[in-house]
Structure 1
Amino acid sequence: MSPTRAAGLVIYRKVSQGIQFLLLQTSYGEHHWTPPKGHVDPGESDWVTALRETKEEAGFSEVDLEIHKDISKTLDYNVKGKPKAVVYWLAKLKNPNQEVKLSHEHQDLKWLPLQQAQEISGYDDMKQLLAEFNEKALKL
């Protein structure tokens, strides 16, 4: 069985306190925290999906972000016993004060430093991805 595909952007901003990651809390299911992401539609590329979902879920378009196309990671896991693959790219919010516009799919948002972002993300693979992206963001 081929995995369900999804794509998104791990968005960070640089503020006086350092790097903060954007996490959105879903308004469905277990109300988990995640970067903006969504399922790849038929005929759509992972890249186009990541841009579309970020616009739909956070209100940010490609012009609002400095997307590091060479920094990506795919997480593979199971959802209800079925394989899922989610590719994320790292993206910096150009204006750190720009307002997030949540969709109906999310009920809350937080900008958090690495450790706190890892804690609320809840999943080991996401914690590792955030750590790797944080290291890369510090060098950019």
Structure 2
Amino acid sequence: MAGRRACGFVIFRRFYGSVEYLLMQTSYGSYHWTPPKGHVDPGETDMETALRETEEEAGFSAKDLNIFEEAKRELVYQVKGKPKTVIYWLAEMVNAQKDARLSHEHQKFRWLQLQEACHLAGYSEMQDTLKYFDGYIIDNHL
């Protein structure tokens, strides 16, 4: 069995000279913090899923984001003994002043600089992903 598949964006903004990442705290389970993401629906592409889930969970549509399709990470890990694949693309807020809107799936959101985001994210796979995208931003002078 292939396991579950989810897609989303690691969203960043430039705010007063700093790069900040959006993390959202789930309103279920262990209340962990992640970027907006969700499971792929039948017939949906990975990118369609990432866009749909980001709008549902954070209130951001494609027009709110500058998506870097070449900046992509695929995480594979176990959830309750079953494999899960999560694909993230990097996306920058077009308007850094626009804030997220919470859905029923999350209870809080925060914009955080890299070190704080890694601390809050907790899981090493997510920390590595945030660091990878931060390096991409630096290396590509974004």
- Scaled to the shorter chain, the TM-score interval is over 0.9
The residue type equivalent to 1:45 in the other structure is T
**How many equivalent pairs are there?**
140
Measure the CA separation in 1 of the matches of 2:13 and 2:104: 23
Matches for 1:123-134 after TM superposition, within 5 Å: 123-134=123-134
Specify the alignment match of 1:61 in structure 2.
61
The residue type equivalent to 1:99 in the other structure is D
For the residue of structure 2 that corresponds to 1:129, the secondary structure is helix
Measure the CA separation in 1 of the matches of 2:113 and 2:54: 20
Q: Which runs of 5+ in 2 are unaligned?
A: none
- 1:32 matched to 2:32? The reply is yes
Deviations 1:42-71 (A, max 9, x none): 111111000000000000000000000110
- 1:43 matched to 2:26? The reply is no
Deviations 1:16-66 (A, max 9, x none): 241000000000000000000000001111110000000000000000000
Measure the CA separation in 1 of the matches of 2:127 and 2:99: 25
Measure the CA separation in 2 of the matches of 1:10 and 1:24: 11
Q: Which 4+ runs in 1 deviate beyond 2 A?
A: none
Specify the alignment match of 1:71 in structure 2.
71
Q: Percent identity, please.
A: 53
Specify the alignment match of 2:105 in structure 1.
105
The residue type equivalent to 1:95 in the other structure is N
Shift of 1:3: 2.3
Alignment TM-score, normalising by the size of structure 2: 0.96
CA RMSD of aligned residues (A): 0.7
Alignment TM-score, normalising by the size of structure 1: 0.98
Measure the CA separation in 2 of the matches of 1:137 and 1:52: 24
Measure the CA separation in 1 of the matches of 2:78 and 2:17: 36
